[in-house]
Amino acid sequence: MSEKIFLASTNAGKRAEFAALLAAHGLELGPAIEYPEVEESAADYLGNAALKAEALQHELRSRGIAAIVLADDSGLEIDALAGAPGIRSARYGGAELSWPQRRALILAELARVPDASRTATFHCALVAIDDAGNRYRGLGETRGCIVRGERGEGGFGYDPLFLPEGQSRTYAEASAAEKAITSHRARALQALVAAMH
């Protein structure tokens, strides 16, 4: 099966990760398409992913393109912070903060939290809509912990802070292939592809 899928994201790191994950399933990532920014106002990850998928599909249709669209909403939930940053992961501390500032804020908030209590879960919700309007979803999660300082140059978002269970390297230290083994996105995509067949 070789099909082009348009991803509701212009984030270079996320697009690169999805390109590799999709290729493993015989799927091709389409070019980045600008679409009107969506207010992520849903109550959960699936709802926000659906909002983004709908917005991208509307934009593609306005250009006369019929294709499968894919959107994700992901979040890091830290137990010691009562599940924060959670659904507001990309806007934690304020939309004006940079990713390094967000990571610094998390580390500051966890400064006095002992190692055993620094547990966290990465969540990913995926929604795909095909050109006939059928909807599919996939959910994935990965347990791990938050390290005491940024580690690694790869990845994006909170990757330098997250150490998956049973691993010795953060997502930012791991290769793309290593990350895919435990990735919440890889698990969500596997569930999504199964739902589409």
Q: What is the dihedral of CA 60, 131, 16, 106, to 10 degrees?
A: 80
Secondary structure element (H or E) that encloses residue 144, with its range:
strand 135-146
Backbone angles phi, psi at 4, to 5 degrees: -90, 130
Catalytic one among 44, 72, 73, 131?
Answer: 73
Residues 16 and 50: their CA atoms lie apart, in Å, by 21
Active site residue 131: no
Instruction: Provide DSSP, 63-113.
Output: TT---EEEEEEEEEEEGGGTT-BGGGGGGTT-TT--HHHHHHHHHHHTTTS
Instruction: Supply the residues annotated as catalytic.
Output: 73
